[in-house]
Amino acid sequence: MRIQLPKAVDEDLAADLEKQSVYVSPSVRGVRVAATRDAVDVDFVDDKDPEAQAKVQRYIDTMVSRFRKLPKKIFATNTRKDAAAYGRDVYGELKKRRWVLELGHGQVGLAGPALACMRALDAACVKLGVERFGAVHENYPALMPSEVLARCNYFKYFPHTVSMVVHLVEDYDKIDEFRRVNDHGTHLDVPDWKAFETPKVCLNPAVCYHCYQAMEKEKMSADGRCVTAVGRCFRYESKNIVGLDRAWDFTMREVIFVGTESWVSERRQKAMEAQLEQVQAWDLDCQFETANDPFFSAAYATKTYWQVRNDLKYEMRLNVEPGPDGAPRTIACASANLHENFFGKTFEITGSDGNPVFTGCAAWGLERLVLACFSQHGFDKARWPESLRADVWS
Amino acid sequence: MSSETTEGRISAIIRRVSKQAGDGPLPVDADVFRDLGVESTAALDLLFSLEDEFGVAVPDDAFSSARTIGKMTELVDSLKGAA
């Protein structure tokens, strides 16, 4: 079914319209924006389902009507020296070699040179944080109190991606009933949803929240503090989950800045310059540009406008293997972010100037970087840049 | 400050988008986002409200740098003059 848009949309909004449509209704198989970008083609399970149609209409109105396009700012681009074409079916080849282990929906493990690659990339990020910014190491749990995520406005702006952790209530009969219905040992059966409590914890969707939480009510004497941490992060992306591109459970390295506005802002800028030097050393094609987070559709237009208008987020998009139709593809593999003083106010962290601190971070999605490396340098050791070759292919 | 002046009408918009009660004067030199409680999610509402109220198209760059009621008044008056 074709639905006319209230106005033609730009390339980025078109991509987000398609991407976020997976959260509209189970009765929607897919949404494609027409080439003219003034209409969408919706694949309904049942074309005569008025409820699903109404949801799609509300979704489109919300995403499009208040969206205000701002020009994209390009911080930098890099062109690799490796002249060979990008690999095809790189993910398939990684699986065939058992360097990628598919273990579930959005749950992917690494082994062999792919794992070595991830470790080498992470080591470079650690070096960047420690040597350039004096970062200190911290380590965080995968779990995060729901109350903390709520205070971070995560349920307000990203409710669609949250992974909540539940457990059975402490009740002998309910636990025993659960045990009995799962006696078959083949899958999970839930006999009574009341046997679960409202989740008090969630899986961590980003590394840096824990850092700010750990500094709650702190009065900083120095102008700023830099921390680095790596962790598993969890974002549910429904039908968009695919391979190493978009996993539910993935690894993120962050270098986190907490301090006065100018201290954080200067370091975010320097971090972007350092991230660019990294991809030059890794010899990867990329574009480093302003971007927005995947806010839920109801908050998409307003939050995206603020984020892009104020240059709060830059993403490094790296070229990866082409899609099944041969079309070129890029994915965001790293970012450099400012959060203004939101976390300073939320966690009552005071800076040396007596005001709520500002925060920012540089982040790397390590599995995506691995995919970009193998997409651009292939499986021939000789093509890999010296900065990675020995570590990946030893 | 008259509610008929540009400044008065902008103050009324700021009150609405920041959900502030009352109708007393707001400081014209205060940063509306940092000091007057306009949240980031209300920035777009503020921009659309200025355009609707005064019938002007506000360039995004100019809106970005006009963070006080005083600067917004100057901006809107200049856009009205240019129209």
pLDDT of residue A173: 95
CA B46-B49-B53 angle, 5° bins:
145
Which range, A31-35, A44-48, A65-69, is most confident?
Answer: A31-35
What residue segments make up the domains of chain A, in order of their start?
A: 2-65, 74-144+205-393, 164-195
Q: What is the pLDDT of residues A248-258, one digit of tens each?
A: 999 999 999 99
- Which member of B42, B45, B60 has the closest CB to residue A309? B60
| Nearest CB to B43 within list A299, A306, A340 | A306
Q: Residue A222 carries which DSSP code?
A: S
Secondary-structure class of domain A74-144+205-393 per CATH? alpha beta
Q: What is the pLDDT of residue A17?
A: 93
Rounded to an integer, what distance in angstroms lies between the CA atom of residue A258 and that of residue A127? Answer: 19
Chain segment A134-155, per-residue pLDDT in tens: 999 999 999 999 999 999 999 9
DSSP calls for B50-65: HHHHHT-PPPHHHHHH
Give the pLDDT score at A326: 84
Residues A246-275 have a mean pLDDT of: 97
Closest residue in B to A71 (Cα–Cα): B60
Q: What residues of chain A lie within 8 A of the CB of B45, using their CB? A: 302
Sign of the four-CA dihedral A207, A210, A212, A214: negative
pTM across the whole model? 0.92
Q: Which residues of B touch A310 (CB under 8 A)?
A: 64
ipTM of the complex: 0.78
Q: Amino acid identity of A43?
A: D
pLDDT at A337: 97
Q: Which residues of B touch A305 (CB under 8 A)?
A: 43-44, 47
Contacts of B44 in chain A (CB under 8 A): 66, 68, 301-302, 305-306
Q: Which of B40, B42, B44 sits opposite A66 (nearest CB)?
A: B44
CB contact under 8 A, B40 and A302: yes
Q: Convert the pLDDT of each residue in A78-113 to its tens digit.
A: 999 998 999 999 999 999 999 999 999 999 999 999
B45 CA: distance to closest CA in chain A (Å): 8
**A293-314 per-position pLDDT tens digit:** 989 988 888 889 889 988 999 9
| A343, A359 contact by CB (below 8 A) | yes
Q: How far apart are CA A92 and CA A22, in angstroms?
A: 24
Buried b or exposed e, range A240-250, using 16+ CB within 10 angstroms? bbebbbbbbbb
CB of A66 less than 8 A from some CB of B: yes
Q: Which residues are paired to A107 by β-bridges?
A: A104, A249
Instruction: Using the predicted structure, report yes or no on whether residue A127 has a pLDDT greater than 60.
Output: yes
Chain B hits for A302, CB-CB cut-off 8 Å, are: 40-45
Residue in chain B closest to A305 (alpha carbons) equals B44
A119, A391 Cβ separation under 8 angstroms: yes
Residue A33 above 90 pLDDT? yes
Q: What is the pLDDT of residues B48-81, one digit of tens each?
A: 999 999 999 999 889 988 999 999 999 999 998 8
